[in-house]
């Protein structure tokens, strides 16, 4: 393992997995991404809109975060404190320690990165990786006759071998490991299904402290990056945006709460003028206050 500071790559994306205890969460049906809120420990309003989304989140605890402490998954870490490896090993990290960044004058995590064999060597033809719960790396590979004799799982039209990680098309925050008795009709209750938690708090806290907005890309569960407010940002003065879910149903926008982004205050349904870059188009919306969220469409 090689020691690194995860803050040297500001948009470093890490996914951490925890076991689902059963049941279906209302937030799982919400067409607006809320993973940044739940990861930060913001409390959803009891009042929901017609699409099953909280009308707003209470993130007041973020205002009281200290610059000499680190925060991860609702836990506070003092300087020199270590994060238990089991909390971050599925993110392919270990030995995470809260340290003071003298230049930034803020505490941040420094970790060692786990290098799996499958990261550096090409996939062996005729073999499938075999994963165990919450592990970063495959425990082994099944090849030849051994692979042929493995039970199969099917999700939609995609088939997997036992031990493979499976992505759930309608729930990007859910990952399952194929098992012999897998039942697609009862996904959340499966013993080897996990909800993907986003470890973006391992990024420099200055990203959040400066009011950056989460940027979602494609069908990914976690924010792809964070976009800081820019002086040139402007609220679109065209007709108020009608936010819609994937089925084209308009999302209820008649609430009093507002989103703040830099010096701007947006009403629910308002958006920023899209930013066109060499990477793609950034479209930022106020859908569930108090944070703006963005979508990146590749160029």
Look at residues 175, 100, 99 and name the one whose alpha carbon lies nearest to residue 136.
175
Q: How many domains does the chain have?
A: 3
Strands of 280-285's sheet, edge to edge? 225-227, 213-217, 293-298, 280-285, 275-276
| Cα distances (Å, whole numbers) of residue 127 to 79, 121, 180 | 44, 13, 18
Looking at the domain assignment, is residue 14 inside a domain? no
Looking at the domain assignment, is residue 11 inside a domain? no
Looking at the domain assignment, is residue 239 inside a domain? yes
Chosen domain end from 96, 113, 130: 113
Looking at the domain assignment, is residue 224 inside a domain? yes
Chain centroid to CA 296: 15
Domain that holds residue 269: 206-243+253-297
Give CA–CA dist 270/277, Å, rounded.
21
Residues 67 and 136 in one domain: no
Looking at the domain assignment, is residue 29 inside a domain? no
- pLDDT tens digits, the chain, 299 residues: what are they? 544 444 433 333 333 333 333 333 444 478 899 999 999 999 999 999 888 899 999 999 888 899 999 999 889 999 999 999 988 888 888 999 999 999 888 899 999 999 998 887 767 788 999 998 778 899 999 999 999 999 999 888 899 999 999 988 888 888 889 998 888 877 766 668 888 878 888 876 777 878 999 999 998 999 999 999 999 999 997 655 555 444 444 555 556 789 999 999 999 999 999 999 999 999 999 999 999 999 999 97
Looking at the domain assignment, is residue 10 inside a domain? no
Contact 20, 12 (CB under 8 A): no
């Amino acid at each position: 393992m090689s020691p690194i500071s995860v803050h040297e790559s500001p948009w470093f994306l890490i996914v951490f997995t925890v076991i689902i205890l059963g049941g279906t969460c209302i937030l799982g049906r919400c067409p607006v991404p809320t993973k940044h809120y739940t990861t930060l420990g913001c409390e959803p309003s009891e009042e929901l809109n017609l699409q099953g989304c909280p009308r707003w989140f209470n993130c007041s605890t973020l205002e009281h975060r200290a610059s000499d402490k680190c925060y991860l998954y609702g836990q506070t870490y003092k300087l020199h404190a270590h994060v238990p490896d089991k909390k971050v090993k599925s993110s392919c990290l270990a030995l995470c320690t809260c340290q003071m960044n003298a230049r930034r004058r803020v505490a941040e995590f420094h970790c060692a990165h786990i290098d799996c064999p499958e990261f550096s060597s090409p996939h062996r033809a005729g073999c499938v990786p075999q994963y165990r719960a919450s592990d970063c790396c495959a425990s082994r590979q099944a090849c030849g006759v051994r692979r042929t004799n493995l039970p199969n799982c099917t999700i939609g039209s995609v088939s997997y071998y036992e031990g493979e990680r499976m992505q759930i098309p309608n729930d990007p925050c859910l990952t399952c490991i194929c098992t012999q008795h897998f039942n697609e009709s009862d996904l959340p209750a499966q013993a080897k299904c996990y909800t993907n938690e986003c470890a973006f708090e391992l990024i420099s806290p200055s990203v959040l402290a400066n009011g950056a907005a989460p940027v979602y890309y494609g069908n990914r569960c976690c924010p792809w990056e964070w976009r800081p407010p820019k002086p040139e940002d402007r609220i679109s003065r065209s007709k108020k945006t009608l936010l819609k879910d994937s089925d084209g149903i308009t999302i209820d926008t008649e609430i009093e709460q507002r989103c703040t982004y830099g010096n701007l205050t947006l009403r629910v349904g308002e958006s920023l003028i899209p930013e066109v870059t060499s990477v793609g188009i950034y479209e930022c919306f106020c859908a569930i206050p108090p944070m703006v969220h963005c979508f990146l469409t590749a160029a």
